[in-house]
Each structure stands twice: as structure tokens, then as C-alpha cells.
Copies of this chain bind each other. A is one copy, B any other.
Amino acid sequence: MNIETASRQVDALGNPTRLRIYRALVRAGETGAPVGQVQEALGLPASTLSHHLKKLLEVGLIRQERSGTTLHCHAEYPVMRALVGFLVDECCVDEGTNVG
């Protein structure tokens, strides 16, 4: 993980619409959610949603898998883990161990 990759991934989540999309996919869990379902749940026009999905795909935060005619979107948990790891890996080191 480097700062360029991290900032592009963080940037992808920095848009409120994309953050909503991403969290919807996180909630959808292992099976993911079809694009149409996300679209309806968030009330987004197709092209707008597609633009945002593309950005999330580009930075690797989500993945798509075809199942019949529908494309299921999944949150890529390992990528998020790595990103969070990068954000906090030098965080709070001076503050002892009062975690939780």
C-alpha cells in the first residue's frame, strides 16, 4: 500500500453517494447485491450509479460477479482492511492502549 493508492481509494469513498453505495454493499454481505437493487434502494439514475460503481471498481473497493442476467456487486473486504490498516498503522501510537 502506498499513499497514491490509498488516497485514490479514500477519495472514492469521500463522495456521499459513493459512500452510501459502498455501505449498502457492505450490508449486503457475502451474496452482494444486484446493481438494480442498489439503484432502487438509493434512488439513483442508472448512469449516475454506473459512474460511481466504475470508480469504486477501479480502485478495487468493490467487485462484480455475474449470476445469470444480473451482476452482483460485492464489497471487497480485504481491500478495505488494507486501507484501514494503512490509515491507522501509525495512528495513536503515543496514546497507550486505551482501545475500546
Contacts and interface: CB of A to CB of B under 8 A. Distances in A.
Interface size class of A (residues with CB under 8 A): 20 to 34
A94 to B, nearest CB: 4
Tell me the interface secondary structure of chain A in the complex.
Answer: helix
Copies in the complex: 2
Contacts of A84: 84, 87-88
Nearest to A99: B81
A94 B74 CA distance: 12
Contact of A27 (B13, B14, B19, B90): B90
A54 interface: no
A26 interface: yes
A8 to B, nearest CB: 8
Contact of A23 (B77, B90, B95): B90
Contact of A29 (B7, B14, B93): B93
Contacts of A81: 91-92
